[in-house]
Amino acid sequence: MLAEIFFYAIVIYLVYKIIFDFIVPVATAGRQMKQQFKNVNEHFNQQKQNAQQKNNQPKSKKVVGDYIDFEEVKK
């Protein structure tokens, strides 16, 4: 009877240690990695969107004057 209680206590303790020392940290790390990938993806999409907006803006051309083609004159 005492050996049986001792055996169940050890089994419960081992299950507890496996859950809280291995499974919970792995699940937490998985969630953190997923969140980091999501943040990186959002940052990349934001940069891509900013680049597209920048490219879509009309470029203003300053007209300074007429362009005169330069030819070198040899003596």
**pLDDT, tens digit, 9 for 90 and up, residues 37-67:** 999 999 999 999 988 888 777 666 666 667 6
Question: Within its chain, how far is the Cα of 1 from the centroid?
Answer: 56
pTM above 0.85, yes or no: no
Distance of CA 8 to the CA centre of its chain: 45
Domain ranges for the chain: 1-48
pLDDT tens across 7-41, in order? 999 999 999 999 999 999 999 999 999 999 999 99
- Give the three-class secondary structure for 74: coil
3-state secondary structure 9-59: HHHHHHHHHHHHHHHHHHHHHHHHHHHHHHHHHHHHHHHHHHHHHHHHCCC
pLDDT, position 52: 85
